[in-house]
Structure 1
Amino acid sequence: MRKLTFAMNLSLDGYIAAPGDDLGWSVPSDELFQWWSDRVAATGLALYGRKLWQTMSSHWPTADRQPGATPAEIEYARRWRAMPKVVFSSTVSTVGWNTRLVTGDAVAEITRLKAEDAGPMDIGGATLAGAAMRAGLIDEYLLVTAPVLVGGGTPFFTALDNWVNLTLVETRTFPGGLILTRYETRRV
């Protein structure tokens, strides 16, 4: 059975994007960028909601061919293109770069994917992750918290009907005061 992790950068007040989908506050240090790149290399399958897919696919497919691309950006772009991906959307019509599109029931498809005997999955995008959260499908929450208050925007967590008990399994500090916290879901 695959493990499903919800991993994102977020502000101290709990948002993955500020109002207007502003991500300017979340530019990673070189060390954190390398950590995210290594995570992409180790991901068996990435699950994207529409908005995050549009953000990622507007940049990373050609980022390694842009003037001034750093070696780390070149490596990340190659890893991102190679990583198997699934996009969940009823409005996106085409996807590329080792990606398939799912237009039907996201929770049913994520449940099916979790039952496979394969590598770990990461889920990204507030709406998609929120549906998986409410369905009890997320096994691990990985938060990289930036020391900034953005006051609103897209929240990392969704409203839940039931408590989710978690166990802290890792912490790490990155330059600029960013703190990684990783929690595993405690199944009762």
Structure 2
Amino acid sequence: MRTLRFAMNASVDGYVAAPDGVLGWSVPSDEAFQWWSDRVDSTGLTLYGRRLWESMNAHWPTADRQPGATPAHVAYARRWRDMPKVVFSSTLDAVEGNARLVTGDAVAEIVRLKAGDGGPMDIGGATLAAAAMRAGLIDEYVIMTHPVLVGAGTPFFTALDEWAGLELVETRTFSGGLHLARYLVR
């Protein structure tokens, strides 16, 4: 059985995006960016909600060919392109690259994918992750906290019907004041 990990950048007040969807406050330090790149390299499959997919797919497919691309960005772009992806959307007609589209029941598809073989899966996008949280499908939470308050927006965590016990298994502080906390679900 595969594990499902939810990892995103978040503000100190718990938001993954500002009210207007802006993510500019969450630019990682070089050190934290390398951590994200290594994570992509160790991920067997990433599950994306539509909005995060559109944001990532607008940049990373060609980021390594942009003027001024750093070696770290080149490596991340290649890793991101190579990693298999599943995009969940009821409004998209197609996706491109190393991705496939799921338009039906997201929770049922995630259950099916978790039951399969392969490396760990990451889930990205607050709405998609919220559905997986409520269904009790997430095995690990990773929060990269940025030293900023955005005041409102899209929260990292959704409202749950019952408590979920977590075990803190890793903490790390990165340059620029970023703090990583990784929790396993008990």
Q: Who is 1:171 aligned against?
A: 171
1:49 partnered with 2:72: no
1:76 partnered with 2:73: no
Q: Which moved more, 1:151-160 or 1:90-99?
A: 90-99
Q: Who is 2:6 aligned against?
A: 6
- The secondary structure found in structure 2 opposite 1:94 is coil
Q: What is the CA deviation profile of residues 44-90 of structure 1, one whole-angstrom value per residue up to 9, with x for unaligned ones?
A: 00000000000000000011111111111111110000000000001
Q: C-alpha displacement at 1:118, in angstroms? A: 1.1
Q: Which runs of 4+ in 1 moved over 3 A?
A: none
Residues of 2 paired with 1:80 and 1:109: CA distance?
A: 22
TM-score (normalizing by structure 2)? 0.99
Q: Who is 1:62 aligned against?
A: 62
Identity within the alignment, %? 76
1:147 partnered with 2:147: yes
Residues of 2 paired with 1:78 and 1:94: CA distance?
A: 22
Q: Which residue identity is paired with 2:44? A: G
Residues of 2 paired with 1:178 and 1:75: CA distance?
A: 22
Residues of 2 paired with 1:68 and 1:168: CA distance?
A: 38
Q: C-alpha displacement at 1:147, in angstroms? A: 1.2
1:126 partnered with 2:163: no
Instruction: Extract unaligned runs of 5+ from structure 1.
Output: none
Q: Who is 2:103 aligned against?
A: 103
- The secondary structure found in structure 2 opposite 1:119 is coil
Residues of 1 paired with 2:57 and 2:92: CA distance?
A: 12
Aligned pair count reads 186
Q: Who is 2:181 aligned against?
A: 181
Q: C-alpha displacement at 1:134, in angstroms? A: 0.0
Q: Which residue identity is paired with 1:142? A: V
Q: Who is 2:35 aligned against?
A: 35
Residues of 2 paired with 1:93 and 1:60: CA distance?
A: 20
TM-score (normalizing by structure 1)? 0.98
